[in-house]
Amino acid sequence: DPNMDSGTTAVKTPGQAGERTIVYEVTRDATGKEISRVEKSNTITKAPVTEVIARGTKVKEPEEPKVTVSEESKVESVGYETQYIEDPNMDSGTTAVKTPGQAGERTIVYEVTRDATGKEISRVEKSNTITKAPVTEVIARGTKVKEPEESKVTVSEESKVESVGYETQYIEDPNMDSGTTTVKTPGQAGERTIVYEVTRDATGKEISRVEKSNTITKAPVTEVIARGTKVKEPEESKVTVSEESKVESVGYETQYVADPELLEGTTSLRTPGQAGERTIVYEVTRDATGKEISRV
């Protein structure tokens, strides 16, 4: 087909299958098993339709490449400058922003060429313009010399209380046994109050401490202890004399008598023996503790 591009095809008439009818004479036995099959006829009962396909022969002229040209823009930030100015009203070493800096904007326009697929072929800068001017940042820098402040000090009084020890006094007491003691007046510690004049700097650090006064504000009480001087007379030795008795058992004797009435070799108790008793009386002397000194 000269009207179709070369290499292309198109079905003009769809093909249709025909039909063939075959008739057989079939012989089977009593069980239904086929014994023989004889073809009786074989006829085309529906003719097939031939499929017609057109094949293109037209040669396609090559197309010129399609390109597009467009403008594209890009905005870039433009940094700002910083300017320092001296300010005699500000302390030296300090700064303050007078005018905040603001970045500007630069707009760049390009002529961009792309092929039919959108792929970039070329990019040519057409213009490059500052479209928003940056604002210079102005910073004031102090030049004022700060006069040194006089050192601030505070003076105050501080007091401290210390314990003052008491003394101990011994007195002799003739009514107390020698070697014994007793507290007549308990001792009590006193108090000493010391007042200082304290100078501190602005941070509270102590610079100096001078003692202004040192006074006994509570007198201590002397402890009085009585010490016995009475000599104890030695006591006479106390003894007791008493009688004590002791009973002892006295064994009895055994006497054998001949008895013509008893068979020879036999014995018989006529009078049972009884132990006697011995009573011993002692004169016993004991000291004050009850310890025995003598026994007569």
Question: pLDDT for 145-158, tens place per residue?
Answer: 877 666 688 999 99
The CATH number of the domain holding residue 189 is 2.20.230.10
The answer to whether position 149 is within a domain reads no
Same domain as 75, residue 94:
yes
Q: Is residue 73 part of a domain?
A: yes
Instruction: Compute the chain's Rg from CA coordinates.
Output: 75
Instruction: Indicate the number of domains in the chain.
Output: 4
Decide: 59 and 8 in contact? Cβ < 8 Å: no
What is the DSSP code (8-state) at residue 271? S
Please indicate, yes or no, if residue 291 is contained in any of the structural domains: yes
Q: How far is CA 282 from CA 39, 80, 240, 247, in A?
A: 174, 139, 13, 11
3-state secondary structure of 80: coil
Query: 4-8, 178-182, 212-216: which has the minimum mean pLDDT?
Result: 4-8
Q: Is residue 95 part of a domain?
A: yes
- Across 28-56, average pLDDT: 90
| 254 shares a domain with 206 | no
Give all strands of the β-sheet with 168-177 in edge-to-edge order: 168-177, 223-230, 181-185
Same domain, 169 and 206: yes
Give percent of the chain above pLDDT 90: 52
Residue 65 has pLDDT above 90, yes or no: no
Distance CA 8, CA 59 (A): 11
Inside any domain, residue 62: no
Of 14-28, 214-228, 270-284, the poorest mean pLDDT is in: 270-284
Looking at the fold, whether 89 and 124 belong to one and the same domain comes out as: yes
User: Do 160 and 221 fall into the same domain?
Assistant: yes
Is 188 contained in some domain? yes
> Do 169 and 223 sit in the same domain of this protein?
yes
Domain that holds residue 282: 240-262+272-295
